[in-house]
Amino acid sequence: MTDFKRISPEQAQALRSQGGVVVDIRDTHSYANGHIAGSSHLDNHSLPDFIAAADLDQPLIVTCYHGHSSQSAAAYLAHQGFSDVYSLDGGFELWRQTYPDQIETGEPT
């Protein structure tokens, strides 16, 4: 059974530079007010399309507010067939402190 790993913002940044995908599971309003540059918003509505279109072997980094909810979501995605899944320790809040220049705003597309 595949599982997820916990990852620091620094490790996540390195994975992003190697093609890792970031998904943000926070509510739409929070995502719109600021999210990791290049991340996708993932919720119950977008999940089926995301899974159908995803490369299951590409590293996948899941973020939430503080790194707690993302662990459950990462475990779920690992069980959906993603082979390399990570939960971002400290979530978006720690990322924002660590990489303030890597934040975008705007509604999910």
**pLDDT tens-digit profile of 4-48?**
999 999 999 999 999 999 999 999 999 999 999 999 999 999 999
Tell me the average pLDDT across 54-69: 97
Bridge-based pairing state of the strands 60-63 and 35-36: unpaired
Q: Which residues are identified as catalytic?
A: 64
What is the rounded distance in angstroms from the CA atom of residue 104 to the CA atom of residue 56?
25
**pLDDT reported for residue 1:** 45
**pLDDT reported for residue 2:** 57
What is the rounded distance in angstroms from the CA atom of residue 43 to the CA atom of residue 57?
21
Tell me the pTM.
Answer: 0.95
